[in-house]
Amino acid sequence: MKTYLPTTPSRRALTGADYSGLTGVKPYKPLLKRLKTHAGRNADGRITVRHQSGGNKKLYRLVDFRQDKLNQPARVEALEYDPYRTAFIARLSYADGEHRYILAPHNLEVGAEVIVSESAPLKVGNRMKLKNIPVGYQVHNIELTPGRGGQLARSAGSYVEVLANAIGYTDLKLSSGEVRRALWEGYASLGQVSNPEHNLITIGKAGRSRWLGIRPTVRGTAMNPVDHPYGGGEGRTQRGTRRPKTAWGKITGGRKTRNRKKWSNKMILKRRK
């Protein structure tokens, strides 16, 4: 974690990620793509997600979540920053000359060799089928549907613990405490996702939020009653409504939003706390 000298009031609390472990190289051009920004607007031009606009220009890195080059070892050429995600990414170089980006696991080093195989060596960065991963190992970028690509545990510092392997399924314990089941034919990468200190970052000042494309948010309690259920009152006052609500009066915070008829409910063995 990087801290700053308190030369201004905002820098006193400012913290940022430590990029000293990254390779100081430019990103690989063939794997870059410009994504159009919509500032939270839909196809009709109406704002459907508030507080989005501006931000620094950035290029999207085409990250390979499927990793379908089986039994072909690759060398880690560089560890890079990715502006579109909280984790760092690793650039792999294959013997046939192809380059690909993958999510960088924690403690992966430049020059290391990684491989995707049905039963690869138990080494950080390697990818293998869930049924061949021993109980107690930490994994990330996990496939819920074999061949579809990783969907679980892709953000900075996240990992999933393997609890059991039996009758075609692997039991996984997520960071939320939820225990869910996945087909053991799916692939998963060994190790924890890089940049585990991301949750300790303090934005520090309003301008830094604007760099990230986040516009200011007005508190409901600072509004008038006509504008928000929390509005009005003399000075600082209580919420005035028993349950937390959105600006449009919809109940939020504590209400379950998961569809009771969703087919994958049977795959959840224990709900999160």
233 occurs within a structural domain: no
Nearest to 49 by CA among 219, 214, 226: 214
Alpha carbon distance 180, 144 (integer Å)? 10
Which pLDDT band, with edges at 50, 70 and 90, does 271 fall under? very high
C-beta of residue 133 within 8 angstroms of C-beta of residue 190: yes
142 occurs within a structural domain: yes
Q: What pLDDT is recorded for position 157?
A: 93
- For the chain, what is the domain count? 1
93 occurs within a structural domain: yes
Q: What pLDDT is recorded for position 33?
A: 96
Q: What pLDDT is recorded for position 119?
A: 85
- Specify the length of the chain in residues: 273
9 occurs within a structural domain: no
Residue 254 has pLDDT above 90, yes or no: no
C-beta of residue 188 within 8 angstroms of C-beta of residue 127: yes
Which pLDDT band, with edges at 50, 70 and 90, does 120 fall under? confident
Alpha carbon distance 164, 173 (integer Å)? 10
Rounded percentage of the chain residues whose pLDDT exceeds 90? 92
CATH number at residue 187: 2.40.50.140
Q: In degrees, to the nearest 5, what angle opens at C-alpha 258 toward C-alphas 133 and 193?
A: 35
217 occurs within a structural domain: no
Range of the domain at 133: 18-199
Tens of pLDDT along 53-89?
A: 999 999 999 999 999 999 999 999 999 999 999 999 9
Assigned token pair, 127: 């990818």
C-beta of residue 159 within 8 angstroms of C-beta of residue 146: no
Residue 253 has pLDDT above 90, yes or no: no
Please state, rounded to an integer, the average pLDDT across all residues of the chain.
94
Tens of pLDDT along 2-21?
A: 999 999 999 999 999 999 98
Strand ranges inside the chain, DSSP E: 2-3, 15-16, 32-33, 60-61, 74-80, 89-94, 99-103, 113-114, 127-129, 138-140, 160-166, 169-173, 179-183, 187-190, 268-270
255 occurs within a structural domain: no
Q: What pLDDT is recorded for position 203?
A: 94
Q: What pLDDT is recorded for position 24?
A: 86
Tens of pLDDT along 179-225?
A: 999 999 999 999 999 999 999 999 999 999 999 999 999 999 999 99
Whole-Å CA distances, 130 to 112, 119, 125, 188, 269: 22, 9, 14, 6, 17
178 occurs within a structural domain: yes
Assigned token pair, 53: 């606009």
